[in-house]
């Protein structure tokens, strides 16, 4: 029986020898298995900036994002997942690629502390729903134990 992607991701993260491998494996599995994930990456919080770590997709100009900027900054500041169905209608949005239409950002938390976040973009409008939120929040919890 095929293992679910959730379980596969959790297993990969738990068996990773360190945080760098756990983050690389996470980004690779998400991008490989979910065709609507056009860009997938992880930002880590350093001081009051989110710093881009491993990612797959087009290079982003936003390698450091202050907490008061972007959808990434908003998710970290609010300590909550943000789904944007149409990035072009959201004034917070910082563009990475002109093809991007929707985005989900999920904070990686330890208790009340933000460690970083998982950021995924899609070229499709309203590409992200509850399934993506549940998957990425589960992955964020597993990653938090490794960071």
Contact residues for ligand SME, defined by CB under 6 A: 39, 41, 60, 62, 65, 70-72, 93-94, 96, 103, 119, 121
* Alpha-carbon span 71 to 15, nearest angstrom: 31
Cβ at position 96, least distance to ligand SME in Å: 3
* Alpha-carbon span 26 to 24, nearest angstrom: 5
- Which residue sits closest to ligand SME, CB atoms considered? 70
Let me know if 28 is exposed, middle or buried by CB neighbors in 10 A (0-12, 13-18, 19+). middle
| Cα separations in angstroms, 133 against 16, 93, 139 | 23, 19, 10
Q: H or E element: which one contains 40?
A: strand 39-46
Q: Which is nearer to ligand SME, 77 or 138 (CB)?
A: 77
Cβ at position 41, least distance to ligand SME in Å: 6
Q: Which is nearer to ligand SME, 118 or 139 (CB)?
A: 118
Cβ at position 106, least distance to ligand SME in Å: 13
Q: Which is nearer to ligand SME, 19 or 105 (CB)?
A: 105
Cβ at position 36, least distance to ligand SME in Å: 15
């Amino acid at each position: 029986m095929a293992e679910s992607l959730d379980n596969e991701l959790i297993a990969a993260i738990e068996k990773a020898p360190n945080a760098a491998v756990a983050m690389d494996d996470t980004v690779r599995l998400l991008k490989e298995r979910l065709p609507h994930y056009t860009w997938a990456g992880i930002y880590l919080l350093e001081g009051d900036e989110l710093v881009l770590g491993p990612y797959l997709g087009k290079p982003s100009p936003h390698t450091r994002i202050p907490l008061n900027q972007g959808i990434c900054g908003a998710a970290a500041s609010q300590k909550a997942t943000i789904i944007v169905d149409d990035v072009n209608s959201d004034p917070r949005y910082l563009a990475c690629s002109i093809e991007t239409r929707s985005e989900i950002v999920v904070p990686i938390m330890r208790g009340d502390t933000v460690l970083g976040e998982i950021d995924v973009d899609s070229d499709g409008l309203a590409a992200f729903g509850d399934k993506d939120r549940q998957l990425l929040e589960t992955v964020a919890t597993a990653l938090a134990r490794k960071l």
